[in-house]
Each structure stands twice: as structure tokens, then as C-alpha cells.
Chain A
Amino acid sequence: MKTLKNIVICATLLFLASCKGFPDAPLNEAIVQESVALTGTWKLKKATQFDPVAISKGFPDEKYIRYNDITANFAGITNYQISFQGGNYTVTNPSPAVLFGTGGTWSFNDKSPDGRRKIVLSGAAANGEVEFGTSYRPSDNQLNLYFTRIIGGKAIVRYSYEFVK
């Protein structure tokens, strides 16, 4: 019995000794990934608008109450293109329904009070925040950006823009 106990202890110690921690991710890995995600020219596929006030009140999940697909409401909106290169971005075929302005510079803001990474677009509409809608995977060939209109610290309108390369 004692022999068996010693074998178990030794095996456990050997197992623990053989464990290696996962290598730490480079400190700037996330930044590089998201920078890579943005880089290139993106064409707008779909634009959807949400009413955060209606959502927070638990109103019905219906068109014109919680959301509205505005893609078909603006002629030529699917010709809208945004191109991120280095620290600059340019817009081709702008639309009043896409609130990123006509171009400028961009950077990340990691000091947002809600802790979420924001994308600062110098030409974007005032009183708003841009952020990634979903995680980016190159195989998806899709970039989702959210624009949230903030007035008096409160989100009043939210836009989801879906782009493809």
C-alpha cells in the first residue's frame, strides 16, 4: 500500500514538473491584430440603426421600435468605401448615413470609461464613439464597426456598419 502511495506522489510530482505555462502573448498583440483587421479598403454591405433607449426599456424587438435596416433608404450607400492605411483613413462615395466623415486620421483609445477599446476617427461625427462590433477573423472577410451617439453621457442612437473587402 505504501509503495502504491509513493508511486502516486512521484507521478504527480513528475506531472507537475513537466507542466510548462503558456507563453505570454506579446503586450501589443491585440493592437497589431486589430490594426491588421482595419487595414485595407472596405466596402459597406449593410447599415442598421438601433434605439438603445427602446432596448433598455425592454420594448418589443421590432422594426422602427428597436431597430431599422437603413441600407435601402440611402441610394448608393453600398458604394461607400472606407480605407485604413497607417494612421490615416479615406472615404470614397460618402453617405450622410455613415457618420465617419470624409476622412482623416485614426487611432485606438484604450482609456474609455467602459473599458472597451474605441477607434478614434478624427473626421467622425461629434458626440459619438466608434468601436469594433465583433472580433475580426480574416476568413470572415467582414469588418463590423459600431458608431454610438452619446448625448449627456447617454447612448441615444447606435449604428452597426458591416463592411466587406
Chain B
Amino acid sequence: MKKYILSFLLLICVVVSSYAQAKVEISPKNFTAEDKITITVDVTGTILDGVKPLYLWAWIPGCCGADNGDWNNSNEANKLTEVKANVWSISFVPTAFYKRSAGEINEIGFLVKAKDGTGDKKTQDMGSKVESLVFVPNKLRVFPSQFTQDDVITIVYDQKLDDNPSMKALKEVYMYTDINYDAGADRGVFFQPVSYDGVGDSNYVKFKSEGNGVFTLTMVPSSYYGSAATPVSEGRRPSGRFQINSIKVHVRSKGNPFAGGAPQPAASLGDVFLTPEK
């Protein structure tokens, strides 16, 4: 009896191992959830050898599935394209395909199957790690990354990330700024609250030191540039209904870096332009 059982188990092993595993290739090999990827699967020698068409059945491990449809009736949107006999591919951007944010997709899982997967007409489970989107710190950035002119924004200057030794040495940081705006029929109107020479004497354009080499200036642009308290140096201060097209931010020292005899250190980052959403 024992002999028969062993023979039976051996037979099962032979049958199971008679199907090869599908070969998968993901291009590019390293990708984030916002990159377009192409999954190519070779089903030669598998239970799907010669089966047409084939479909992707996908999930995020530990989370959830994609819009796969039913196991016996795959979603047509997940149909793979036949590249050549037994080789199939599909391209997608993971955030769009899985309908999840990049922060939720650290890994993807999938298999390939017949439209009706009944009878185990599928490949083995496959998958790949997904690289995190990397926050790249910049010496000058704005928080939040997108904003309108009526939102609170914070301009952040991180001295530690600056290669310029004069900028690194600054104890106080100021902003030279102007805006370009539309108001009614007037387009591209220029307004500058504080002159370049006056910047070092104006607390209105002075950054706040947060310590550790970080300086910030927080404002609501429409109010900062268009309220009764806004100083006027050149151009027309906006009033009533207006739309800011761009904000020039020029981070610099208290002393004019372009004037002879300015107290040292004196330096600037040059002009950077912020564009509010409309």
C-alpha cells in the first residue's frame, strides 16, 4: 500500500513539474510608481502555451487588487498584446493602473491568465519591488509645491545645501522680489514692493531664521503683494481683482552683493520665479 501511495505522489510531482514557469521581464528594471513600465511574459511550455488571448491579473501585495474583473471573466482593459508566439506584453503606469498613490505602491504583484482562469489556466505569481519616489532637497524651495496666489506659501532657503561659501556664511537672509500680474484689461503689470538697494533695511522682505541654516519667509501672495500694508517701490501695487502670473524671488544678503564696499559676506542666489496655479 505504502508503495502505491509513494508512486501516486511521484506521479503528481511529475505532472506538476511538467509545466515550465513563465519567464517575465519588466522594463525598465528599476522603476517608480509614476514610471511607465512594460511587462513582457513568455508562456512557452506553461499551461498557457498557445492560449489566446491572455490577461494580466494584478495586485499590490498586502493591499488590494487592480481592476481585474472576475477570475472567469478578466477585464478587457487588462488584455496583453501578443508580441510573438507565446510572448505577451502590457504597458502601464502603476499609479494609473492600480489607481493608488505612489506612496501606496511599494511592490506590485501579478500573474498572467486566460480570460477564464478556471482550471488553473494561469502562470505562477510574479512581481517586483517598486522604488520610492525620492524627495530631492533643494537649497531653495517653496512649500507647498503647488499653490494659488491665495494660499499660504513658505519660501525655504536651506543654507546647508548651498555651495557658495558667502551664502553659507550669512547670518541674515533677505528677498528681493517683484511680481507680474494681470488686472482687468491691464496685462503683465510690474510691481516691486522694495527696491534692490532698500532690501537690507526692510523687515518686510527679511527671512526668519529657523536655526540649523534654514531660513523661511511665509506669506499669502495676494495679500503680501496687494494689501494696504504692502510697501511700494516701483510699479503699481495691485488692488481689486488681480491675478499674479509670476513671483520673482531673489534670495540675498543684507548688503547689496553688487555694490562696492558692501559689508561681507555679500552674495545672492539670483532670480527664481514661482508660478501660482490659476
Contact = CB atoms under 8 A, between A and B. Distances in A.
Nearest to B150: A125
Interface in B126-172: 132-133, 135, 141, 143-148, 150-152, 154, 156
B152 A64 contact: no
A56 B103 contact: yes
Contacts of B222: 96
Given A65-B135, A149-B151, A56 B101 contact: yes
A54 B218 contact: no
Interface of A: 49-51, 53-60, 64-65, 68, 70, 73-74, 96-97, 99, 125, 127, 149, 151, 156-157, 159
Contacts of B93: none
Contacts of B216: 64
Contacts of B148: 127, 149, 151, 156-157
Given A57-B103, A59-B135, A70-B218, A51 B223 contact: no
Given A58-B102, A64-B154, A73-B152, A53 B223 contact: no
A96 B223 contact: yes
Interface in B78-104: 101-104
Given A57-B103, A68-B154, A151 B135 contact: no
A97 B221 CA distance: 11
Contacts of B143: 49, 51, 64-65, 68
A57 B220 contact: no
A49 B152 contact: yes
Nearest to B278: A151
B5 to A, nearest CB: 40
B152 A70 contact: yes
Contact of B103 (A51, A55, A65, A159): A55
B117 to A, nearest CB: 32
28 contacts: A49-B144, A51-B144, A51-B145, A53-B145, A54-B145, A55-B103, A56-B102, A56-B103, A58-B102, A64-B143, A64-B156, A70-B152, A70-B154, A70-B218, A73-B154, A73-B218, A96-B150, A96-B222, A97-B152, A125-B150, A127-B148, A149-B148, A151-B146, A151-B148, A151-B277, A156-B145, A156-B146, A157-B151
